[in-house]
Amino acid sequence: MILPDYHMHSSFSIDSDTSMSELCEQAIKLGMTEIAFTDHVDIGAPLDGGFVIDFDAYMLHFLEIKEKYKKKLHVTLGVEVGLMEQVLEKSARLLNSYPFEFIIASTHVVDMLDLHAGDYCRGKTREQAYEGYLTNVLKMLTQFNDFSVCGHLDFVRRYGGYADNFFAEGEFISIIDEIFKVLIHKNKGIEINTSGYRCNLGSTLPTLWILKRFRELGGEIVTVGSDAHTTGYVGKYFEVATQMLVDAGFKYYTTFRNLQPTFVKID
């Protein structure tokens, strides 16, 4: 059994050239029965003035794809929204204007400094960068409600460039606990994002001890996503993510219908 890939970027995202059809075909080839497209919406991001998809074209093409593959693959309409304090209300209005079934809330920018470009971590010690990032994640998730799961919780690890990029077990746990308490109170979840292996981090985002902590505090909602921008990474390292769920004490993984979680037993 291979779990559904709930974090994928098609050519509707500025950083992908892969069509929805190509991603669907790869998912079917791998034996998946369900996926979610989660193309980027980063209003006001410092690079290129923000990454915002053409929603009307996105919706139209999605419906064509859903119909085309309906006998082989359940295709879920999702989106990945980048959280920035200045545009939270605008982002919420935009998301509520379309019938999304699944929304990943991610932090790609802190203090108008882009993580991907290295701007945020530049000039900061590892501790300053990581703690500041997590503090911002907590603030954004406290203020924002229109989402399903928190995306790649320790995303800052991907672009910090620090020799020691792992969160040691128990490190920053007070902030991580506060993040999880907010998520659990709001009936939201987290994802296991397998892109950490693609980015040479040697682990998923987050790592096992953080996933275990989410479960210990009462967290139940966990999706799994590759963060694929090309077909080669669809479902990549999902055997690792599946074992992590089991090791952390989860008996189910999560899918979504109309923004409501569905719990599916791990075989």
Domains and CATH numbers, the chain: 20-265 (3.20.20.140)
Quote the pLDDT of residue 252.
98
Quote the pLDDT of residue 238.
98
Quote the pLDDT of residue 262.
98
Handedness of CA 232, 62, 192, 250 (dihedral sign): negative
Please give the residue that has the higher pLDDT: either 174 or 165. 174
Read off the pLDDT of residues 78-96 as tens digits, 9 standing for 90 and up. 999 999 999 999 999 999 9
Quote the pLDDT of residue 47.
60
Read off the pLDDT of residues 209-233 as tens digits, 9 standing for 90 and up. 999 999 999 999 999 999 999 999 9
**Rounded mean pLDDT, 146-163:** 92
Look up the pTM and report it.
0.96
Q: What is the mean pLDDT of the chain?
A: 95
Q: Is the pLDDT confidence value at 168 over 90?
A: yes
Q: Is the pLDDT confidence value at 49 over 90?
A: no
Element (H, E) at 103: strand 102-106
CA-to-CA distance for 75 and 66, rounded, in angstroms?
6
CA-to-CA distance for 118 and 120, rounded, in angstroms?
6
